[in-house]
């Protein structure tokens, strides 16, 4: 590290000066481990019908090593910290009375020094391990979200925004760093409270119940605060997504906003969205400040109540007992008054982040069921791309589709060409499935979710292409699409990959409820 500091002192650091990432910390290794466990959850969900759980996938991928870090933390908090007040009390008793020998005093002083050294070593080791585990989860979840973003379908892309994705990668995954730092104290703190009760009973007897009752009464308050933090975190995340969605739309449509001078209106919209988000963040900050203030004062309140009850029972207050009890309460102060509530609050926020990431991971993906290579013909508009591709298929045969007897299905290829027509009131795009000999005209039932134009005076939805009648459907942009169909017995259809006027959701309905349903493919 000295060489690293020396280079940074002489000149600004560059990427080549940084150390390589450890193999077990690399994103490829971590995301592969998490991806494997997440795939198991998806398979189990398909088999049992139970929704997949990202929490169980994270526990199976990283839970064992994380739990191992809890053992030294337990030894540090329960044994080392609780042993120090006892040794300190015996050492004070040596100077105030003759009940402790010189040899025992030396042993108590040596034990006090060794326990302080052990606390420094174990504390650094534990929190370094907690930070590493939080970093691993953050890296693995970020890479898993990135992989998912590359496989989203057009419908899923319409339901999410770049701002929401950025919010997950920059805000939600960072909750793992704080959640893992204090997660173990959710089970260590109760054990430490039991040891604290036994040692205080040994020193001052029944009077310790008064002080411990104050600490116990803090537990429901901490749990309630964790529940409130979880709700506030969920509401804040939704408001952040809404604000980022608005900002993404503003940036994308900046030219239109400038042309129509809509800057004040959109500025007011963004300001209102940000104001709602800040309002929830302020609520979280006020609640956090209130809980932190009460918990830090709880140690003084506990000590005061304990010795008031102890003195009121007629017991003498000696320096050794005061040192012992105060040291015990201060030894458990961080775990009971700080780390435990932080574990509750950060754990609740971490669970909310996990659920948000899980919701994103369950979005629809692209179906990759093509076993053969895809032929792509790229050319200018009007250059007869479908005709070129159709001639190529008829010349070489359809690779992906074969007849039952193994012969090529080239003679069963149908061209689904496009042609545009201009109407007086709307722009429409007509799709005609045509091939030689296809003269049969059949009935058609409109698909669910497609709205008909009530204002447009149109004929009954017939499928006769000669009189220009067809099925009229409305897309999300407000324009109307008229779809002409005829029956076809072909086994393969040559169709454009996308429909320019209609969005992804309308394309899905057109294909599944018109093309595929009507033509029985």
**What integer pLDDT is reported at residue 469 of this predicted model?**
38
503 in Cβ contact with 479 (< 8 Å): no
- What phi and psi, each to the nearest 5 degrees, are found at residue 464? -85, 115
What b/e sequence results for 478-493 when a residue is b if at least 16 CB atoms lie within 10 Å of its CB, and e otherwise? eebbbbbbbebebeeb
Half-sphere exposure of 90 (CA within 13 A, CB side): 17
Looking at per-residue pLDDT, the higher value among 505 and 42 belongs to 42
Alpha carbon distance 499, 515 (integer Å):
13
Alpha carbon distance 419, 9 (integer Å):
68
484 in Cβ contact with 465 (< 8 Å): yes
Looking at per-residue pLDDT, the higher value among 481 and 297 belongs to 297
CA distances from 255 to 38, 91, 247, 393, 465 (A): 42, 77, 14, 43, 41
Coil/strand/helix, residue 111:
helix
> pLDDT band at 377, cuts 50/70/90?
low
**What integer pLDDT is reported at residue 449 of this predicted model?**
35
DSSP alpha helix (H) spans, 253-400:
254-259, 263-312, 319-331, 333, 340-361, 385-396
Mean of pLDDT values over 309-333: 83
Would you list the DSSP string of 13-60? --GGGSPPPPGGGSHHHHHHHHHHHHHHHHHHHHHH-PPP-HHHHHHH
Fold of 23-361: ABC transporter transmembrane region fold (1.20.1560)
295 in Cβ contact with 341 (< 8 Å): yes
Domain borders along the chain are 23-361, 394-519
> pLDDT band at 374, cuts 50/70/90?
low
Coil/strand/helix, residue 493:
strand
Q: How far is CA 386 from the centre of its chain?
A: 43
- What phi and psi, each to the nearest 5 degrees, are found at residue 80? -65, -50
Q: Closest by alpha carbon to 403, among 391, 411, 395, 393?
A: 411
Looking at per-residue pLDDT, the higher value among 69 and 447 belongs to 69
Alpha carbon distance 270, 258 (integer Å):
16
Alpha carbon distance 209, 490 (integer Å):
85
386-413 pLDDT per residue, tens: 666 666 655 554 443 333 344 444 444 4
92-141 pLDDT per residue, tens: 888 877 788 889 889 989 998 999 898 888 888 888 888 889 899 999 99
> pLDDT band at 493, cuts 50/70/90?
low
Structure letter (DSSP) for residue 492: E
Predicted TM-score (pTM) above 0.85: no
174-222 pLDDT per residue, tens: 888 888 888 898 899 889 988 888 888 888 888 888 888 887 787 777 7
Q: Which residues pair with 414 in a beta bridge?
A: 493
Q: Closest by alpha carbon to 354, among 10, 62, 101, 115?
A: 62
Pairing mode of beta strands 471-474, 413-422: unpaired
Burial of 266 (0-12, 13-18, 19+ CB in 10 A): middle
Half-sphere exposure of 364 (CA within 13 A, CB side): 13
Q: Closest by alpha carbon to 508, among 458, 473, 480, 478?
A: 473
Structure letter (DSSP) for residue 465: T
Looking at per-residue pLDDT, the higher value among 37 and 295 belongs to 37
- What phi and psi, each to the nearest 5 degrees, are found at residue 429? -125, 125
> pLDDT band at 348, cuts 50/70/90?
confident
Alpha carbon distance 450, 509 (integer Å):
8
**What integer pLDDT is reported at residue 110 of this predicted model?**
92
Query: Whole-angstrom distance between the N-terminal and C-terminal Cα of the chain?
Result: 66
3-20 pLDDT per residue, tens: 778 878 788 888 777 888
Mean of pLDDT values over 155-164: 75
Average pLDDT, the chain: 73
**pLDDT for 486 beyond 50:** no
Q: Other C-beta atoms within 10 Å of 400: how many?
A: 11
364 in Cβ contact with 155 (< 8 Å): yes
Find the helix or strand (DSSP H, E) in which 481 lies. Answer: strand 480-483
């Amino acid at each position: 590290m000295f060489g690293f500091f020396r280079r940074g002192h002489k000149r600004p650091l560059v990427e080549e000066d940084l150390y390589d990432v450890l193999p077990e910390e690399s994103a490829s290794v971590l995301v592969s481990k998490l991806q494997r466990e997440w795939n198991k959850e998806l398979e189990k969900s398909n088999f049992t019908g139970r929704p997949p759980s990202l929490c169980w996938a994270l526990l199976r991928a990283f839970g064992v090593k994380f739990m191992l870090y809890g053992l030294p933390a337990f030894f540090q908090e329960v044994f080392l910290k609780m042993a120090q007040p006892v040794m300190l009390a015996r050492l004070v008793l040596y100077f105030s009375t003759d009940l402790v020998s010189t040899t025992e005093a030396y042993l108590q002083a040596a034990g006090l020094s060794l326990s302080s050294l052990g606390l420094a070593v174990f504390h650094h080791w534990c929190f370094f391990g907690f930070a590493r585990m939080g970093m691993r989860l953050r890296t693995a979840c970020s890479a898993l979200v990135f992989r998912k973003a590359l496989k989203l379908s057009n419908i899923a892309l319409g339901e999410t925004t770049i701002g929401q994705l950025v919010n997950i990668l920059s805000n939600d995954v960072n909750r793992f760093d704080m959640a893992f730092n204090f997660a173990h104290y959710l089970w260590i703190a109760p054990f430490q409270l039991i040891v604290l009760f036994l040692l205080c009973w040994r020193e001052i007897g029944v009077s310790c119940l008064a002080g411990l009752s104050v600490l116990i009464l803090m537990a429901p308050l901490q749990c309630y605060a964790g529940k409130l933090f979880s709700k506030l975190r969920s509401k804040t995340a939704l408001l952040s997504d809404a604000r980022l969605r608005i900002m993404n739309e503003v940036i994308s449509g900046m030219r239109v906003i400038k042309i129509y001078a809509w800057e004040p209106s959109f500025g007011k919209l963004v300001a209102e969205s940000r104001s709602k988000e800040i309002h929830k963040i302020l609520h979280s900050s006020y609640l956090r400040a209130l809980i932190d203030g009460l918990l830090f004062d709880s140690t003084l309140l506990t000590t005061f109540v304990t010795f008031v009850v102890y003195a009121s029972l007629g017991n003498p207050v000696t320096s050794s007992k005061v040192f012992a009890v105060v040291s015990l309460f201060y030894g458990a102060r961080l775990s009971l008054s700080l780390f435990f509530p932080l574990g509750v609050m950060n754990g609740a926020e971490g669970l909310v982040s996990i659920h948000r990431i899980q919701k994103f991971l369950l979005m629809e993906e692209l179906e990759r069921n093509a076993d053969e290579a895809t032929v792509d013909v790229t050319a200018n508009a009007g250059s007869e791309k479908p005709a070129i591709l159709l001639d190529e298929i008829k010349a070489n045969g359809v690779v992906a589709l074969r007849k039952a007897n193994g012969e090529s299905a080239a003679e069963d290829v149908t061209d689904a060409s496009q042609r545009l027509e201009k109407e007086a009131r709307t722009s429409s795009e007509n799709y005609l499935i045509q091939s030689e000999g296809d003269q049969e005209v059949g009935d058609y039932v409109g698909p669910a979710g497609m709205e008909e134009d009530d204002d447009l005076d149109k004929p009954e939805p017939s499928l006769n292409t000669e009189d220009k009648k067809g099925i009229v459907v409305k897309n999300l942009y407000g324009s109307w699409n008229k779809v002409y169909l005829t029956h076809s017995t072909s086994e393969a259809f040559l169709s454009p990959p996308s429909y320019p006027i209609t969005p992804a959701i309308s394309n899905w309905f057109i294909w599944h409820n018109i093309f595929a349903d009507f033509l029985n493919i």
